[in-house]
Chain A
Amino acid sequence: MNMQETDTLSKTQVSARNVNVFYGEKQALHNITLDVKRNKVTSFIGPSGCGKTTFLKCINRMNDLIDICRIEGDILIDGQDIYDKNVDVVALRAHVGMVFQKPNPFPKSIFENVAYGMKIHNMTKSKSELEDRVEDSLRRAALWDEVKDRLDQPGTGLSGGQQQRLCIARTIAVQPRVILMDEPASALDPIATAKVEELIHELRENFTIIIVTHSMQQAARVSQHTAFFHLGELVEYGKTNTIFTNPIDERTQNYITGRIG
C-alpha cells in the first residue's frame, strides 16, 4: 500500500492494525492498517464489494451482529482496543455513531428521535437539559429552523433529506467521538445532498468523520483524506487532493477515472 505521509500518533483517533475480516471461509478484508486523523473527514472509496463498508462496520463492532463474521487484528480508538473483552459494546456505539444510506428515523416524534439515545444512556439530569440538548443537536444538524414548530410530529413525516439530517442530529446528540457515515447522501436529491455535505463540513470541528461514498466528487469535496479499497485490500491512503489529482497506484487511477482496471 502507498502511504503518502505519516502523521504523529497524537493526531490519530482511530487506528487499525493488521485487520483481517472473514465471513465464514471467505476473507473480506486483508491486513488493513490505517490511521484515521482526529477532526478530519476521511472517505473510503472503492467498487462494490471491495470491503469498505465491512471495514466501516468494524469500527463500531456492527459486524458482531453477524454470526459467521470473524475479525483478526486490532482497532484502537484513542488508544483503546475496541475488541477488548472488557469493552461495553453499547457504550462503544455511543462513542462511535453511525448514519446509514437510507434515513432510518425511529417511528417516534422528531423530539424523541433525538432524545432517545440520551435517555437510554442517562446522559441528562433534567427535562430542561434534555430539551436544550435536543435543540442544540437539531441546530448543529442544520434542521432546527425547519422542525422547531413541529417537534411532536413523527420523524418519518419529514422529507428524505430532513430525515437524514434528523438521523445525524440523533447521532451527534449522544456526543460521539467518531461518526461513521455509510453513503449518507446516495438516496438524496442534489440540494439535500449539498446540505448534508455542508453539515459534514461543519461537524468536522467537533467530530472525526469517516464516510463511505460511491461518488468520487463527493469524496473529493468533503474529505481531507481518502482510502481506496479494492478486493478487500487497502490499495492507497493519503491526502484527498493527491488521490484525485495524482494517485500513486494504477488501480486507484483506473477506478477514479472510470477505466476498466
Chain B
Amino acid sequence: MENTHIVGAFDKDLKKIEGLLLEMGGLVELQMADVMMALVKRDTTLGQEVRDKDHRIDALEQKINERAVRLLALRQPMADDLRMIIAIMKVSASLERIGDYAKNIAKRLSVLVQAPPIGSSEKTLKRMSDLVQLMVSDVLDSFLKRDIELADDVRHRDEEVDLMNNTLFRELLTYMMEDPRSISVCMHLLFIAKNIERAGDHTTSIAEQVHYMASGSLPTDERSKSDITSTMAVHPDMES
C-alpha cells in the first residue's frame, strides 16, 4: 500500500486481515504437500496429522470473516479497500475448501495403504497435486503483489490439471475392467484425483478474485475447461 489512510488503525486492520489470509494460504499449501507425501510414502501418521490440522484452517477462516465483518461495519471501505475485503472473504472460503479436500484425501489413506499401488497412478496424482500446489503458491503471491498477470496465468494453468485428471480417469477405468478386485482402491484414487482437480478449480476462483481486487473487474475471457470425466464411459474398444 503506497499511501496510507488518515485513520492509521484502518491500515493496521487491513494489514492484519491480509496477514491472516496469507497464513491460511500457507497452511493450505502445507496440508496439500503433507497429504501427498503421506500417500506416496504410505505414512498414516502424517495422514492423521493432516486430518487433525484441518480445524486450524477452519478457525482462520472464521477469524478472517469476523474481522472482515467488523471492518465493513466500522470503516465502510470504498473502492480498492472495499474490493480487497470482498476478495479476502471469497478467497478465504476457497482456501478453506481446498483444505477440506486435503483432509478428505487423508481420510482415504487408511484404505489405500493396505493395497499395493495401482500402476503409476499415485505418481500422476502427486504430479497433479504439485501443479495445484504451485498454483496456490503463485496465486497467493499474486494476491500480495496485486499481480494481475500472474493471477491470469494461474487461472489458465488449471487446464493442465484437468487434462491429467482425464488421463488418470481413463487409466483407472482400464484397471477396474481388468481386475474387479482393484475397484475399491481405484475408486478411492479417483476421488483423490477429483479432490485435486476441484482444488485446482478453487485456485482459479482465487485468481479471478485477485484479478477483480487489482483491476475492479473480473477477467472477461472464457477460461478453457478440459475436465471431460463427467462424460466418459466404458466402451469395449477402450481396451484396445
A residues neighboring B (CB under 8 Å): 216-217, 220, 244-247, 252-254, 256-261
Given contacts A216-B76, A246-B217, contact A259 B82 (CB under 8 A): no
Whether B10 lies near A258 (C-beta < 8 A) is: yes
Interface centre among B3, B79, B80 (most CB of A within 10 A): B79
| Total residue contacts A-B, CB cutoff 8 A | 45
Whether B6 lies near A244 (C-beta < 8 A) is: no
Given contacts A245-B216, A246-B217, contact A253 B80 (CB under 8 A): yes
Residue B238, interface by CB 8 Å? no
On chain B, the number of residues with a Cβ less than 8 Å from chain A's Cβ atoms is 18
Q: A247: which B residues are within 8 A, CB to CB?
A: 79
Whether A216 lies near B216 (C-beta < 8 A) is: no
Whether B76 lies near A257 (C-beta < 8 A) is: no
Q: How far is the CA of A253 from the CA of B77 in the complex (A)?
A: 11
Closest chain A CB from B78 CB (angstroms): 4
Q: How far is the CA of A261 from the CA of B79 in the complex (A)?
A: 15
Partner of B78, one of A256, A260, A261: A256
B residues neighboring A (CB under 8 Å): 3-7, 10, 75-83, 215-217
Given contacts A258-B7, A260-B3, A260-B4, contact A246 B81 (CB under 8 A): no
Closest chain B CB from A115 CB (angstroms): 41
Partner of A257, one of B80, B215, B217: B80
Q: A258: which B residues are within 8 A, CB to CB?
A: 5-7, 10, 75, 78
Q: A246: which B residues are within 8 A, CB to CB?
A: 79, 83, 215-217
Whether B79 lies near A256 (C-beta < 8 A) is: yes
Q: A256: which B residues are within 8 A, CB to CB?
A: 78-79
Q: B217: which A residues are within 8 A, CB to CB?
A: 246
Nearest A residue to B81, CB-CB: A257
30 contacts between A and B (CB under 8 A): A216-B76, A216-B78, A217-B76, A220-B78, A245-B79, A245-B83, A246-B83, A246-B215, A246-B216, A246-B217, A247-B79, A252-B79, A253-B80, A254-B3, A256-B78, A256-B79, A257-B5, A257-B77, A257-B78, A257-B79, A257-B81, A258-B7, A258-B75, A258-B78, A259-B3, A259-B4, A259-B5, A259-B6, A260-B3, A260-B5
Interface centre among B6, B7, B77, B78 (most CB of A within 10 A): B78
Q: B5: which A residues are within 8 A, CB to CB?
A: 257-260
